[in-house]
């Protein structure tokens, strides 16, 4: 017997506000698109220049922002567009990381080859977990996925002969091709940037296709979507699989960048952090995953710097403050600021 609870009680207010931000006149929409492409252009220029102007540690931080952005692109697809809550996304991230690490460490597989392999493994895993998850919705689904994330750590430690157990696996950093003339940190940054751009374009295209319209219909009203001929089970399972695949891709790149994997790096806190990141960044928004990736990367260390005794308390207060000031996330706050500027210019 399936549970009748769904995510509308949790996601509907935020979703409604996000949808409301896009309801504007043609002139306003044109200006919004102009500003959006302007921001994308500025970000592209900054992204290409940054690794040559920053010290290696800052380049590493930016690379990790891109890693988390790829993972949040998948989580945004599942939560923001399909309306399914997952607290187990850190599990797929970990599987992708370990898949890449084991292939590189045990079998000497070239690191770039581990990316598609990790994506295939996590896609199959996500599809397999997505089928039984069809009978669960809302908080029930969140609890089940969180249980999977909790179960993963002792499972990784149990098979120490393969995973390295509690000590994990230490790897060599990938060496950039000689013709690039780049340092290792710069090379990994540009590889992560390319993967992020490709993932973003694929998700963007997917959401503007028939698949995206079906996911939005299911998110807004599953019964009505089914009446219109949409097959909720198929699209929800695929959304789960696609989301897991992107998390696995992010995990593989994470292994290249960190050159180390350990079970304690993938506790349930990672899953909670990822979900908090996409909510703070902006559910269902274009720039939400990028802003959420920056949030996941920088805010924990910022909290640690403010109060070393209770960083989680500071982190929680920062999340509350952001959600109070920007209920639709940081992307929604930026959009609201743009509309205010447009109205001020119109009055002149």
**What's the CATH code of the domain at 92?**
1.10.3470
- 42-49: long-range contacts (C-beta < 8 A, 24 or more apart)? 47/193
> How many distinct structural domains can be found in the chain?
1
With respect to residue 81, please indicate whether it lies within any of the assigned structural domains. yes
Of 25, 45, 156, the C-alpha closest to 93 is 156
Work out the average pLDDT over 139-163: 89
Gap between the terminal Cα atoms of the chain: 61
Query: How does DSSP classify residue 264?
Result: G
Q: Which pLDDT value is given to residue 255?
A: 97
Q: Which pLDDT value is given to residue 5?
A: 43
Q: Which pLDDT value is given to residue 344?
A: 66
pLDDT in tens, 267-312: 999 999 999 999 999 998 888 999 999 999 998 888 777 776 667 7
CA 247/CA 266 separation, integer angstroms: 12
Q: Which pLDDT value is given to residue 133?
A: 77
At which residue do the structure tokens 């999340």 appear?
A: 319
With respect to residue 52, please indicate whether it lies within any of the assigned structural domains. yes
At which residue do the structure tokens 């995510």 appear?
A: 7
With respect to residue 2, please indicate whether it lies within any of the assigned structural domains. no
Please calculate the CA angle 50-52-54 and round it to the nearest 5 degrees.
65
pLDDT in tens, 201-231: 999 999 999 999 999 998 888 888 888 888 8
Whether residue 10 contacts residue 139, with contact meaning beta carbons closer than 8 Å, is answered with yes
Q: Using the CB atoms, write b or e for 51-74: b if 16+ within 10 Å.
A: beebeeeebbebbbbbbbbbbbbb
Whether residue 21 contacts residue 336, with contact meaning beta carbons closer than 8 Å, is answered with yes
Whether residue 111 contacts residue 177, with contact meaning beta carbons closer than 8 Å, is answered with no
Q: Which pLDDT value is given to residue 204?
A: 93
With respect to residue 3, please indicate whether it lies within any of the assigned structural domains. no
What would you report as the CA-atom Rg of the chain, rounded to the nearest whole angstrom? Answer: 20
With respect to residue 146, please indicate whether it lies within any of the assigned structural domains. yes
Share of the chain above pLDDT 90, in %: 57
Q: Which pLDDT value is given to residue 9?
A: 45
Q: Which pLDDT value is given to residue 346?
A: 66
Examine the pLDDT at 148 and tell me if it is beyond 80: yes
Work out the average pLDDT over 49-76: 96
CA 276/CA 75 separation, integer angstroms: 11
Examine the pLDDT at 257 and tell me if it is beyond 80: yes
With respect to residue 37, please indicate whether it lies within any of the assigned structural domains. yes
Q: Which residues form the domain of 100?
A: 8-347
Higher local confidence (pLDDT), 35 or 178: 178
pLDDT mean across residues, the chain:
85
Q: Which pLDDT value is given to residue 4?
A: 43
pLDDT in tens, 77-136: 999 999 888 898 999 999 999 999 999 999 999 999 999 999 999 999 999 988 887 777
Model confidence, pTM: 0.87
Examine the pLDDT at 40 and tell me if it is beyond 60: yes
With respect to residue 1, please indicate whether it lies within any of the assigned structural domains. no
With respect to residue 49, please indicate whether it lies within any of the assigned structural domains. yes
């Amino acid at each position: 017997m399936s549970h009748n609870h769904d995510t509308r009680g949790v996601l509907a207010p935020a979703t409604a506000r996000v949808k409301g931000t896009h309801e504007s006149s043609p002139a306003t929409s044109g200006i919004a698109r102009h500003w959006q492409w302007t921001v994308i252009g500025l970000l592209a220029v900054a992204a290409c220049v940054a690794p040559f102007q920053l010290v290696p540690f800052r380049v590493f931080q930016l690379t990790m922002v891109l890693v988390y952005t790829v993972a949040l692109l998948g989580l945004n697809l599942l939560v923001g567009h399909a309306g399914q809550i997952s607290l187990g996304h850190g599990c797929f991230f970990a599987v992708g990381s370990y898949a890449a690490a084991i292939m590189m460490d045990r079998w000497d597989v070239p690191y770039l080859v581990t990316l598609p392999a990790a994506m295939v493994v996590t896609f199959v895993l996500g599809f397999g977990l997505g089928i039984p998850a069809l009978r669960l919705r809302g908080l029930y689904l969140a609890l089940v996925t969180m249980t999977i994330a909790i179960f993963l750590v002792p499972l990784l430690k149990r098979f120490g002969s393969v995973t390295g157990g509690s000590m994990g696996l230490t790897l060599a950093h990938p060496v950039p091709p000689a013709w690039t003339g780049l340092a290792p940190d710069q090379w990994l940054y540009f590889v992560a940037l390319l993967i992020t751009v490709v993932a973003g374009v694929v998700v963007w295209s997917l959401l503007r296709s028939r698949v995206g319209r079906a996911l939005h219909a299911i998110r807004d009203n599953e019964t009505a979507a089914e009446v219109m001929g949409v097959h909720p089970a198929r699209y929800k399972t695929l959304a789960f699989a696609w989301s897991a695949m992107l998390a696995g891709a992010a995990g593989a790149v994470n292994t290249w960048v960190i050159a180390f994997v350990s079970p304690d790096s993938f506790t349930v806190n990672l899953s909670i952090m990822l979900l908090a990141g996409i909510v703070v960044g902006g559910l269902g928004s274009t720039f939400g995953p990028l802003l959420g990736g920056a949030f996941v990367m920088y805010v924990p260390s910022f909290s640690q710097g403010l109060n070393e005794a209770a960083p989680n308390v500071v982190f929680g207060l920062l999340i509350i403050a952001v959600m109070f000031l920007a209920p639709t996330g940081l992307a929604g706050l930026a959009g609201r600021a743009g509309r205010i500027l447009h109205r001020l210019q119109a009055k002149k």
